[in-house]
Amino acid sequence: MKKKIWAGLFSLTLIMGLLSACGGNNAANNGAAGGTGAGNGGAANDNKKVTINMFTASPEYTDAFNAYIEEYKKVKPNVTINLEIMQSDYNTVLKSRIAAGSTPDVFQTTAGGDIDTYAEYSADLTNEPLAAAMTDAVRANMSSSDGKVLGLPVKGNLFSIVYNKKLFEEAGITTFPRTTAEMEEAIAKLEAKGITPFANAYKEWWVWKHLFQHFVDAAAQDAGVTPKELVDKFIAGEAKIKDYPLLYNNFFAYVDTTVKHGTDKPLERDSNAQVSDFASGKAAILNGKGAWDEEAIKKITPDIQIGIAGYPVSDKPEQSQIITGADQALRINKDSAVAKETIEFFNWLYTSEYGKNWFSSVAKVIPPIKDAPLPDLDMPKQMDEILKKEPSGDLSINYSLDTFHQKFGEIMQAYIGGSKDKDAAVAEIEQAWVQLGSAQ
């Protein structure tokens, strides 16, 4: 099946051939050192020297990845894992390496829709112990449209509003607002105390998808369909944003509110600036973010009192939900000469006692696997308590590709910058969904 993401990339094959030394599917690279292809059967050989090349886009976990690589060396001294991390232009380089026939043994993609995009390069992990170890929500995020587990979660995640409890208490607000009317009242109370409500990071394209998904979930509920069904309709060109009031009215109204009642120059504030604004008390609400920011916040203000909550997307309090799941996946190259050894490594990580504790104590992230402890952080602990009482929202960003989400962010940046009105932005979002939302 030909996919739009590969358009134009094969012209880079000769140039990217220079990168082939990094490729895990090169038998000359790894075959002589041992290891067999995924379909050859048999267990990995403990005596042959094996090199696994791992290519990721998560620099924030460099130390954590290196920690489990070092630990695995104690378990399998014959296995060497080479870790390469790139953030800028990662997707372009990955596609170029695949086009050049030098697919890494392990590579990273987004989850959801991109599980199908890279399916033909990914080992089937459905019957592996690591798949059984995943939580149900995470396993769904790692599964292809035909039900095969083709990805490994980098981490579990939490998407929510993050707020400063102390600033809310100073404004006389005892519980975070769950409806749009309650949010308006809270904004008035905060500003009456001289407190700026929102810290924004609208220079970043990706924060927009984290905002939008909360409104997509609620719009789908109102329409009597699942979020995936709603997203699929937009991708097929069979839906219009104007027909979903929570998307056409409430989402844009919320964005307008955050700009009007937020920190200055929102298009110039990146993620780091936003975290600084929030942690230093310049604003009461961290907008469009999630659990990954807690450590950075506490490095600035260790004793800050953090709260999490769902977005008040409508007049229905039950539609204010936090969202959990996994949006980043590692993939094992099915044609790698060391596919079996690579699968064995990740089976160890997801099922061993070290691995179960690695997520919480080393990476300090929400574990994507069952029976693993939570990190000693406020947001995951509050998430755990919330989910005992109410369901998680759907991680609906996973149903569209990041090519769409990036374009969506650019459109919204133009909207708040004043170069597009709402209807122009809506028309372009609908067009982008059709053109970029799916790998088909």
| CATH (domain of 417) | 3.40.190.10
Residue 430, pLDDT above cutoff 60: yes
Residue 29 is predicted with a pLDDT of 39
What count of other Cβ atoms lies within 10 Å of the Cβ of residue 185? 12
Q: Say if residues 267 and 417 touch (Cβ distance below 8 Å).
A: yes
Percent of the chain with pLDDT over 70: 89
Residue 5 belongs to a domain? no
Q: Tell whether 165 and 218 lie within a shared domain.
A: yes
- Beta strands in 165-315, from DSSP E residues, in sequence order: 198-199, 285-290, 306-309
Residue 23, pLDDT above cutoff 50: no
Dump pLDDT digits (tens) for 264-283.
999 999 999 999 999 999 99
Which residue do the tokens 């990190």 mark?
A: 375
Q: Tell whether 79 and 202 lie within a shared domain.
A: no
Q: Tell whether 229 and 305 lie within a shared domain.
A: yes
Closest CA to 24 of 94, 109, 91, 73: 94
Residue 258: domain span: 157-325+394-437
Q: Tell whether 317 and 339 lie within a shared domain.
A: no
Rounded to the nearest 5°, which phi and psi values hold at 207? -65, -25
Residue 369, pLDDT above cutoff 60: yes
Residue 194 belongs to a domain? yes
Distance from C-alpha of 236 to C-alpha of 234, rounded to nearest angstrom: 5
Q: Tell whether 82 and 221 lie within a shared domain.
A: no
Residue 126 belongs to a domain? yes
Residue 378 belongs to a domain? no
Distance from C-alpha of 142 to C-alpha of 5, rounded to nearest angstrom: 20
Residue 331 belongs to a domain? yes
Which residue do the tokens 């599980």 mark?
A: 115
Distance from C-alpha of 259 to C-alpha of 253, rounded to nearest angstrom: 10
How many domains would you assign to the chain? 2
DSSP assignment string, 291-343: GGGHHHHHHH-TT--EEEE----SS-GGG---EEE--EEEEEBTT-TTHHHHH
Q: Tell whether 151 and 223 lie within a shared domain.
A: no
Per-residue pLDDT band at 10 (split at 50, 70, 90): very low
Q: Tell whether 257 and 400 lie within a shared domain.
A: yes
Residue 1 belongs to a domain? no
Distance from C-alpha of 369 to C-alpha of 134, rounded to nearest angstrom: 4
**Better-scored residue on pLDDT, 414 or 5:** 414
Residue 44 is predicted with a pLDDT of 53
Q: Tell whether 277 and 307 lie within a shared domain.
A: yes
Average pLDDT over residues 198-205: 95
Q: Tell whether 166 and 94 lie within a shared domain.
A: no
Q: Tell whether 268 and 364 lie within a shared domain.
A: no
Closest CA to 427 of 234, 167, 169, 217: 234
Residue 88 is predicted with a pLDDT of 67
Q: Tell whether 305 and 341 lie within a shared domain.
A: no
Distances (CA, A) of 390 to 101, 211, 219, 368, 386: 47, 20, 18, 19, 6
Q: Tell whether 276 and 410 lie within a shared domain.
A: yes
Which residue do the tokens 């069952």 mark?
A: 370
Return the minimum-mean-pLDDT range out of 37-41, 112-116, 181-185, 328-332.
37-41
Residue 9 is predicted with a pLDDT of 43
Type and span of the H or E element at 278: helix 271-279
Distances (CA, A) of 297 to 129, 155, 203: 36, 19, 19
Residue 190 belongs to a domain? yes
Residue 377 belongs to a domain? no
Long-range contacts of 127-132 (CB under 8 A, 24+ apart): 128/343, 128/346, 128/347, 129/347, 129/350, 129/351, 130/343, 130/346, 130/347, 130/349, 130/350, 130/351
Average pLDDT over residues 83-97: 86
